[in-house]
A and B are shown apart, each in its own frame.
Chain A
Amino acid sequence: MTVLVPIVGLAEGLAVGAAFVAVLTVLQVVPRLIQLCGGSARAYELALALGAVLGALNEAVPLAVQAGWVAVIPAGLLSGVFVGMVSGAIAEVGAVLPLAGRRLRISRWLLALLVALAVGRAVGATLWWAVPSLRAG
């Protein structure tokens, strides 16, 4: 049965990897990035693939580069930006903001709503780190 082990692992990985980027594609995260920052879709695909492999590999062989805060600060910032971007994109799939703007007739304040959502997320993340009871359980 041992021969099955790598096959099962590979199949599991295929499913997880494809599902991961399928979600990102539906959220249109990468087209937005291409519009903002230029660059090619091909390069960004590679970034997603390499990053996902690195994350998955960490479970097999715990990885460590001893680079100190020089690496920690950008990594924290980038992962924060990524989570913010994805959470914004998820809300956008439901077109919550434009709908709320139309229904409540506050389309003119759409930017303010957007800022409220962004600041709210930042406050939420800070509270989560700052209040220990939130993290318990």
Chain B
Amino acid sequence: MRIFLRPRAFASVAPGGQLRLGQLADIVGGEGLADLPLGPAPAPGRYRVLPLTDLVRAVAAVAPDADVRVLGEHDVVVRGRRARQRWAWLLAVAAWLLLFVGATVTILNFHADVNMAAVHREIYRLLTGRSAEHPLLLEIPYAVGVGVGVLLFFRPRSGEPGPLELETARYERGLHAYLRERR
């Protein structure tokens, strides 16, 4: 009998109870293998790295004659899922406010640093020949442009992941690679 295992790179599981082979890998061939126990599931928010050899060993224990083939090379990183906490949204609101205030202050600092008010007055004078203390005609489109520029950067095309999603995925991949190597 030939059995194929395709290990997942990462699995998020309910904490407490047993890890099952079916949670960690896609299985082709064999019977009832998805329920094979593989030790305790990690506590909420904790990680456990399962070497591929553990998966093979578990299968070999119940099907000694099987020809087990592993389609993949990465040990499986398992994390215990966190229960949804009631106040979790408060933390997200705080992070939102942090970015909001941070963005405001950054632009204010930048303007003070490069003396943006004077530059805008000068641009306005160059274009119109008149001078104005607050060239609103220039500055309001500018403010709109800053917001549009931010959103343009993040959403180049609908249906494609934006740079933030990609950075988040890269961050997680780095984390998982670190956990595998440290094991």
Q: Which A residues have a C-beta under 8 Å from some C-beta of B?
A: 1-2, 4-22, 25, 28, 30-39, 41, 43-45, 47-61, 74-75, 78-79, 81-83, 85-86
Interchain Cβ contacts under 8 Å between A and B, 29 examples: A1-B127, A2-B137, A6-B138, A8-B138, A10-B141, A10-B145, A11-B145, A15-B145, A16-B149, A17-B147, A17-B149, A18-B153, A21-B150, A28-B171, A31-B168, A31-B170, A37-B91, A38-B91, A43-B92, A45-B151, A45-B162, A47-B96, A48-B103, A52-B106, A53-B146, A54-B107, A55-B104, A56-B143, A83-B102
Min CB distance B102 to A, Å, is: 3
A residues in contact with B143, CB < 8 Å: 13, 53, 56-57, 59-60
Interface residues of B, dominant DSSP: helix
Interface residues of B in 75-105 (CB under 8 A from A): 88, 91-92, 94-105
Cβ-defined partner of B108 (8 Å) among A13, A50, A55: A55
B residues in contact with A41, CB < 8 Å: 154, 162, 164-165, 168
Question: Contact at A79–B138, with CB atoms within 8 Å?
Answer: no
Q: How far is the CA of A49 from the CA of B153 in the complex (A)?
A: 10
Q: Which 6 A-B pairs have the closest CB atoms?
A: A13-B145, A17-B149, A51-B103, A82-B102, A55-B107, A39-B92
Q: How far is the CA of A86 from the CA of B96 in the complex (A)?
A: 15
A residues in contact with B98, CB < 8 Å: 33, 78, 81-82, 85
B residues in contact with A55, CB < 8 Å: 103-108, 111, 146
B residues in contact with A6, CB < 8 Å: 137-138, 140-141
Question: Contact at A10–B142, with CB atoms within 8 Å?
Answer: yes
Question: Contact at A56–B138, with CB atoms within 8 Å?
Answer: no
Nearest-CB residue, chain A, relative to B169: A31
Q: How far is the CA of A18 from the CA of B150 in the complex (A)?
A: 5
